[in-house]
Amino acid sequence: MRSFGYTLIEIVITLLVMAVLAAMAVSSYGGYIRRAHAVEAIEQLDTYRTRMEKAFQDDGNYGAGACSAAVPTGVAQFAYSCELAVDGQTFTARSTGSGAMAGYTYSINDQGLRRTEAFPGLAAAADCFMVERNRCR
């Protein structure tokens, strides 16, 4: 007489394979979420630069004492700042990550120079926006 079913070893191996696959999926998902947040922060910086250029066209400077355009506020996990120089003739806007995005810092200036100032695992600043290691956007 034959019995049908699974042995304990088969069940343990199946559970082990499922656990490894689940661990890989969770890790990949976390990376995807970080990249999505970084892209959103970068898009806000680009939009902010456009608003600052419009202010320059209207006023002849980027601001007096403070930047003409209000910095973005609607992006979770990033704080924005703007610094003026040369009597309002130049500016640098910066987005700094917090929470899960701590360690990410991007900037853009009046000349359109896009920089990744801080990125996990990055040894020196890069003159581009990075959302993945060693890949510029």
Give the tens place of pLDDT for each residue, 82-121. Answer: 999 988 899 999 999 999 899 999 999 999 999 999 998 8
Pick one of 3.40.190, 3.30.700, 3.30.70, 3.30.2010 as the CATH number of 8-136.
3.30.700
**pLDDT value for 87:** 87
Q: Do the beta carbons of residue 94 and residue 80 sit within 8 Å? A: yes
pLDDT (tens digit, 9 = 90+) per residue, 33-70?
888 899 999 999 999 999 999 999 999 999 988 999 99
Ranges of each domain in the chain: 8-136
Query: CA 70, CA 47: separation in Å to the nearest integer?
Result: 11
Return the pLDDT at 12: 93
Q: How far apart are CA 42 and CA 10, in angstroms?
A: 48
Beta strands in the chain (DSSP E): 78-85, 90-97, 105-109, 114-118, 130-132, 135-136
Return the pLDDT at 26: 83
Q: Mean of the pLDDT values across residues 15-31?
A: 88
b/e burial code for range 6-23 (CB count within 10 A of at least 16 → b): eeeeeeeeeeeeeeeeee
